[in-house]
Chains A and B, each alone.
Chain A
């Protein structure tokens, strides 16, 4: 059965303090791994798709990387506006559904 585990559950950073969020997964044939950001009261906002081990993608202060068993979302010099819940999801070759992790709640303080 496909599984996605995100850690930590919650993370508090000071502005400018870089860190990484982890997404460990097991899937029978990875079609894609997705990162989303969700703000309170809103739907998830798409950030990145990664397709194969070794792939990296960047957007502003965020960088996502992928290995065969996990993905990392690196946040460089975060700002308070980066505070949100970050969700990781995998899509298997066998279907169209995304299997989501429970998310990491990030709080960045000034």
Chain B
């Protein structure tokens, strides 16, 4: 069974630009979550989608947004990039039907903002 796939693996952007990251969940998984990982803050929750609806949102500014498509694939968008947005962005999927089903993570997109 294929795991969670995130594209691209690496991105370099300039301050003020916007970026879109993509995530394909494990087949059959309907919940997709996004996390930001930095050396200082660790893993921080961005948002979670289930059946195209955002169920949960973390404490990030409105520049961070996401969506989920009918095939459960998800995208997240960051507008007006800041230097502090440099991080590893991780997508995770789960069955979503049981609230405590484990998350399975992709290998992330490494975003560098210059």
User: Which residues of chain A have a CB within 8 Å of any CB of chain B?
Assistant: 31-32, 34, 36, 41-46, 49, 51, 87, 89, 91, 95-103
Contacts and interface: CB of A to CB of B under 8 A. Distances in A.
B56 interface: yes
B105 A44 contact: yes
Given A31-B100, A43-B90, A96-B55, 14 more contacts: A34-B103, A36-B105, A41-B107, A43-B106, A43-B107, A46-B102, A49-B100, A87-B43, A96-B50, A97-B33, A97-B48, A97-B56, A101-B42, A103-B42
Q: State the majority secondary structure of interface residues on B.
A: strand
Given A44-B90, A97-B45, A32 B100 contact: yes
Interface in B46-62: 48, 50, 55-56, 58
A contact patch SS: strand
Interface of B: 4, 31, 33, 35, 42-45, 48, 50, 55-56, 58, 90, 92, 99-100, 102-108
A45 B104 CA distance: 7
B16 to A, nearest CB: 28
A51 B92 CA distance: 20
A98 B35 CA distance: 9
